[in-house]
Amino acid sequence: MGILYSPYLSFFNPLDTYLKIVGLTIIFFGYILMFITGKTVIRHVYSKATYERKMMTTGLYAFIRHPLYLSFILIPLGFLLITLNYLSFLYLMAFTVFTNSDLKECGREGKFTIITKAARCEEENLKKIYSKDYEEYMEKTGRLLPKFRNKKE
């Protein structure tokens, strides 16, 4: 951990204090997002909806399709802003690329996968399961950020 704070590996930035505050805020929201998403998933898994194969569209899933993946991006991004370090940048890149054994259907089993690719693969699988319902859900929600729709619709 000490090497991440090394002055020899850091970017020069006169706004250091402000970036640390922003970084801490992003990390805080990343962990809150992860906690809320986990709570929603656990509630869904242990509910009757899982056995009836109902889509999860409550909580944060009412706004974005992959809130957990978003938290996986926000936390290292906040860490990068706090440390302003080249190694932290590499950490951010490594954190957004992960190994996922659940991606067998996409031919990605055991391979490094960028989060957005994993999200697309999950969406393709969910389209096969829920068909039209999931496509309608995709139109209403964003992949990693909420969709802002025009009020006139």
3-state SS class at 99? strand
- Of the candidates 128, 106, 131, 132, the one whose C-alpha atom is nearest the C-alpha of residue 119 is 106
Cβ–Cβ under 8 Å, residues 3 and 87? yes
pLDDT digit string, tens, across residues 65-103: 999 888 988 888 898 888 877 777 776 676 666 545 455
pLDDT digit string, tens, across residues 29-61: 999 999 999 888 888 777 765 566 678 888 899
pTM value surpassing 0.85: no
Reported residue count of the chain is 153
pLDDT digit string, tens, across residues 106-138: 655 545 567 777 788 888 888 988 889 999 999
